[in-house]
Structure 1
């Protein structure tokens, strides 16, 4: 048995093609918007959200749409107005991809309830044979010595049974076809605990992220998933402060300034 901690790695974020953005803006007379955002470090995630919002009203500058006589020129103010007015559809264009590492199948079973705006690729125990049982213990459990002794003993028994089955089925013998390994490995996973740590790639758009961060850090949420999405919330505040800076954290619960965007 191997004790682990849930980890989050942000591996992909939006990237704009500014040449194509410029070509479009030149065609519609909105070049001044790109000149305004092209100062210092470009924030592609927030620029994409703003771009999507402005195309809805043709609000690149006053007068392009005769109904628009003034525009917000500060991106932070503009995006906060998007949140406040619940114009959340423009946030769906902005997606981030994470590796969720050493998370239990307790977590992954709950994550599948969030399907809108999400893509998932999870480690398959039909193909990946277990040779140990990585497992996360919360702090309160680690302080209970009798519980830990019994739990680690049980995990060691499960590991030993996994090794016994692999030997019994001869999976490491030369010439065993892969389809047979897959069949037996699929059977063997049935004896793995739901708390087994695994990994997945998880992609979500900003609208979904805002909902899931709030939902899965709430006081009534499962403790491991609360820990995980607290970490994701911290990452997102750094990545896109104008889109996630309205949250306040109260005893681990991430409470948004604007809900149901």
Structure 2
């Protein structure tokens, strides 16, 4: 048994093709918006949201839409208004992809309930054979000596059983075909605890991320998922500060100034 800590890594985020946007704006008008935003320090994710929101009203600059005589030129203020007016569909254009490493299947079973605006690719224990049982214990559990002693014995027994089954089924003998390995590995996973550390690739758009950060850091949420989404929330404050500017954090709970649209 190996003690592990949940790790969150951001591995992909939006990148704008400014040449394509400029070509479009040269045709319909609004190139001044592009020139201004490209010279600003705002991340591409936020620029993409602003572009998409301005598409709705053709509000890249005054005069393009006769009904719009004045436009906001401060991008953070513009996006703050998008959040405040609950124009949530605009937030769906920007996707972020994370690796959640050393998280339990307790967490992933809860996480995949959030389907709208999300995509998942999880390590499959039908194919991935276990030779150890990585496991996360919360701090309060690590401080309980009797609990830890008993729990570690259980995990060591399960780990040893995985190794025994691999030998018993002759999985490493030369000539053993993959179909047999897959069949036996699928059976062996039934003896893996739900708290086993695993990995999942998680992609979500900003609308979904705001919702899940709020839901899964709430006081009643399971403690591991609270830990993970606190990490995600802190990453997103760096990656899309204008979109997460309305949050306050109280005792680990992320509270938005404006509820999800």
TM-score range, shorter chain: over 0.9
Q: Quick one: distance in 2 between partners of 1:99 and 1:78? A: 31
Aligned to 1:249: 249
Residue aligned with 1:19, SS: helix
Aligned residue number for residue 23 of structure 2? 23
Q: CA deviation at 1:40?
A: 4.4
Distance 1:84 1:42 in 2: 19
TM-score, reference length from structure 1: 0.99
What displacement does 1:41 show?
3.7
- The whole-number CA distance in structure 2 between the counterparts of 1:96 and 1:227 is 19
Shift of 1:42: 5.1
Q: Which residue matches 1:197?
A: 197
Q: Which residue of 2 aligns with 1:125?
A: 125
- What's the CA shift for 1:39? 1.3
* Matched residue, 1:47: 47
**1: CA distance between counterparts of 2:142 and 2:229?**
22
Structure 1 unaligned blocks of 5 or more: none
* Residue 96 (1) aligns with residue 96 (2): yes
> What is residue 137 of structure 2 aligned with on the other side?
137
1:97-131 per-position Cα deviation (integer Å, ceiling 9, x unaligned): 00000000000000111000001000000000000
Alpha-carbon distance between aligned partners in 1 of 2:243 and 2:17, rounded to the nearest angstrom: 21
Residue in structure 1 matched with residue 115 of structure 2 by the alignment: 115
Structure 2 alignment gaps of length 5 or more: none
Q: 38-47 or 156-165: which moved more? A: 38-47
Task: Could you list the structure 1 runs, at least 4 aligned residues long, displaced by more than 3 angstroms after superposition.
Answer: none
Task: Please name the residue that 2:178 is paired with.
Answer: 178
Task: Quote how far apart the aligned CAs of 1:62 are.
Answer: 0.9
Q: How far apart, in 1, do the equivalents of 2:185 and 2:112 lie?
A: 23
Cα deviation, 1:134-154, whole Å, max 9, x if unaligned, reads 000000000000000000111
CA RMSD after TM alignment: 0.7
The aligned runs of 1:157-236 (5 Å cut-off) are 157-236=157-236
* Deviation, structure 1 residue 20: 0.1
Q: CA deviation at 1:43?
A: 1.5
Deviation digits for residues 158-213 of structure 1 (CA, Å, limit 9, x no counterpart): 00000000000000000001011000000000010000010010000000000000
SS at match of 1:242: coil
Aligned residues: 261
Question: Counterparts in 2 of 1:56-75, with a 5 A limit?
Answer: 56-75=56-75
Q: Distance in 2 between matches of 1:121 and 1:260?
A: 26
Look up the SS of the partner of 1:174 in the other structure: coil
How far 1:63 sits from its partner (Å)? Answer: 1.1
Q: 1:225 offset after TM fit, Å? A: 0.1
